[in-house]
Amino acid sequence: MRLTVSANTRPLTERLLEGALRADDIAPIGDQLLDVIRSASARQFATGAGWVRSHKAGATLVDTGRLRDSFTRAGGASSTSTRGESVTLETRVPYAGYLADGARGMPARDPSRVDDWRVARDAAQVLVDYITGEL
């Protein structure tokens, strides 16, 4: 017995090619990707996961909230850019580098480091939605 299955793959191929062309410029979804990054940063500041705990009471790396807000709120002390295939969120808080590298006996606690599996999942979903034309 022989079973043959055939399918017209042309529509799928055309859709994939169209999606590949869209993926070359992610500027239209820059805000959605920045939201993913900001959400992950908010979780990082809330939990302090991976950072050496502060000896002071309260949340690690949060005194006035200025640094946290620069990573978690649009329009905070940060700058953003979306160019080609990359999205960038940078803080303009001057002491961020000292915290990231460690200074005056303090351990390094990089506020821009976000190790959260949800970032990859959520960013991938935004990209898939964009490439397939859902966004």
| DSSP-assigned states of every residue in 12-74 | HHHHHHHHHHHHT--GGGHHHHHHHHHHHHHHHHHH-TTSPPPSSSSSTT-SSSHHHHHHHST
Print pLDDT tens along the chain (135 aa): 555 455 566 666 666 666 666 666 777 888 888 888 888 888 888 887 777 777 765 677 777 778 888 888 887 777 888 777 778 888 888 888 887 888 788 888 887 777 667 888 888 888 888 877 776
Domain boundaries, the chain: 25-131
pLDDT score, position 57: 55
